[in-house]
Structure 1
């Protein structure tokens, strides 16, 4: 056999061949996404940075006077600010706790198979669809002492709108009615991801309804619970509509958002208002970061809080 007739040497496997110079898919994806991320960062960060800068000035009309931390010193000695923080925390803790319990009950009901389930789901979700400002006006009218709808139904005579304690009860009731369906919707999405085989196996083993709920539903629903609580906690800390409609700028019931707007419109002090908005942002951010760091890993891999899941 001549040299020209000899077979060519085998080609090395594709994995052993030198890679062609160029941009990989991952790097190319980052390049394409960078403009979008940059645009979103500018949109999200600019108002925050602008508010922080403006909080360093005393603004009177069109005049600005740089006072460094003067507005923050005023904030730390402002009793109205601490009262607003207290009102916001009370509202957040109580309303989110009640919304979670009611939302979980609603989710369990909507997850069952029964005649008229679609209509039931629609009825439960109706309050969430109604605009918050409209719902606030309706609930304020119901709690008003003159028409006395709530008083007539309950057979009592309570001045709901002028008493700080009863006004807070009214605001929490209205907010629970409005947003419990949202929590139910998030939890329902989590319930529908739980395989039915788990319940069937537990039932064969003799586990009762409560045991199945405690040992199967709650552990597997944990990621959805964390997301629902996180969303509602952060949102409740920024609550404005119900508190403003019920009591206006009254210090006795003002939340952080209402107290901030007071210095934007009712008593214009734009520098101090920006300091209040910055403080509100910091409080919300701290709570959100703490919530995510404390319980966030469960939403990623289902691992218990504070432990990382095993890599597969």
Structure 2
């Protein structure tokens, strides 16, 4: 599933992470087993999609905050995936709705990072990932053409802000794609990732329980890329999925195009607070030459050691 992506700015999706990632980073592929129709506004996409703000959690469970994306219902809203019978290699319209507490489809949304809805689709083994932007019909049904190239269990995340809500919401649901399933191992940790002739290097170490600075630097053929293009109102987007339960974090970079201080590369800086240890898959989206590309990393957050 090949994946491209994006979403809201530092203030829309939650820079405080209830999922932890960092300490070690690993290279991966930017292309997975899912394909979607290209968006009219984008020149091209390779792979999938980060400064966010607000909360990275939804509600509490017995006093414990729940990371985004783990619940099908939160904030009085429910993700309703329509249809079934998905098969690997078959193209079709993927459809879903967002329902309110009365079971009525929500039809009013506030834009977050230039879009009303951000849909992320990831295979459970994190070998496939895509971030796309479906269109909504008058009855509140969202649709987008998708082809699941590989069979397996997938997690879909709807990332949005419903009208009347002060913060964004991320809901998740599982979908099954029929066919011969072959699980893929998670790539080993590394500080660099390559995609389509570009190299992305990560500097910085995240420690659970603290706010840490991550800087991702993009070069091509050994030359720094200093003319990154804005994509969904940012020079880069970062999504993290925790291995196992696929807890979700969408982060956007510090600064934005046109603010008078943020340069178009080669460095993109993010801040994230990671309160727990674990293994994560990170996906960085950036645009250059009219094409959105995604660099994938494996990240391991080590427990904080008291001295």
Name the TM-score, length of structure 1 as normaliser.
0.23
Larger Rg: 1
Larger strand proportion of the pair = 2
| Higher normalized contact order (CA 8 Å, seq sep 6+, divided by chain length) | 2
Q: Which has the higher helix share?
A: 1
